[in-house]
C-alpha cells in the first residue's frame, strides 16, 4: 500500500510540471524570425526557461539558465547572442540572464497595450545597460 501511494505521488508531481520552456510576445514583427529564435532556444541545453519579446525591429530575449550553469552566465549570454545574430542579422537583439529582467519580461508578456509594452521594453533596456 505504501509503495502504491509513493508511486501515485511521484506521477502527480511529475505531471504538474507542464510549463513551456519558451514564451513569446510579438508586436508587428516577422513571425518567421521569431520561430527560428524560439527553435534555437528550445535546442539550447543550458537554458531552463526563456521569454522572447519582439517589438518592431527589436528582440529582447530573457533567459534562465539551469542552476548548475549560473557561474558561466556571461559566456553563455554572449554565445547565445552571437548565434541569434546569425539567425537575425539585421535586427537589434538583446540577451540577458538576469532574473529581474526575466521576471519583468514575463509581466510584459501579459500586457495587451502596445504603447505600454514599448515603454516597458525601453525600461528593460535601461536595466540591461545598468546590469553590465
Residue 18 is predicted with a pLDDT of 47
- Over the stretch 16-72, which tens digit does the pLDDT of each residue have? 444 567 887 776 666 678 888 888 888 888 888 999 888 877 888 888 888 777 677
Residue 105 is predicted with a pLDDT of 87
Residue 19 is predicted with a pLDDT of 59
**Helix-, strand-, coil-residue percentages of the chain, each rounded to 5:** 60, 20, 20
CA–CA separation, 51 and 67 (whole Å): 17
Entry pTM: 0.74
- Over the stretch 76-123, which tens digit does the pLDDT of each residue have? 888 988 998 888 877 788 888 888 888 888 888 887 777 887 888 888
> In angstroms, what CA-CA distances link 89 with 74, 84, 109, 113?
21, 8, 24, 28
Instruction: Tell me what percent of the residues of the chain surpass a pLDDT of 90.
Output: 1
Amino acid at each position: 500500500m505504501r509503495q502504491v501511494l509513493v508511486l501515485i505521488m511521484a506521477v502527480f508531481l511529475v505531471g504538474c510540471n507542464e510549463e513551456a520552456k519558451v514564451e513569446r510576445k510579438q508586436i508587428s514583427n516577422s513571425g518567421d524570425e521569431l520561430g527560428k529564435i524560439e527553435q534555437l532556444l528550445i535546442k539550447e541545453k543550458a537554458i531552463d526557461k526563456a521569454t522572447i519579446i519582439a517589438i518592431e525591429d527589436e528582440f529582447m530575449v530573457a533567459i534562465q539558465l539551469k542552476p548548475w550553469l549560473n557561474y558561466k552566465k556571461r559566456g553563455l549570454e554572449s554565445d547565445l547572442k552571437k548565434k541569434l545574430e546569425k539567425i537575425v542579422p539585421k535586427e537589434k537583439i538583446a540577451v540577458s540572464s538576469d532574473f529581474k529582467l526575466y521576471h519583468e519580461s514575463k509581466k510584459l508578456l501579459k500586457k495587451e497595450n502596445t504603447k505600454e509594452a514599448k515603454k516597458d521594453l525601453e525600461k528593460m533596456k535601461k536595466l540591461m545597460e545598468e546590469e553590465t
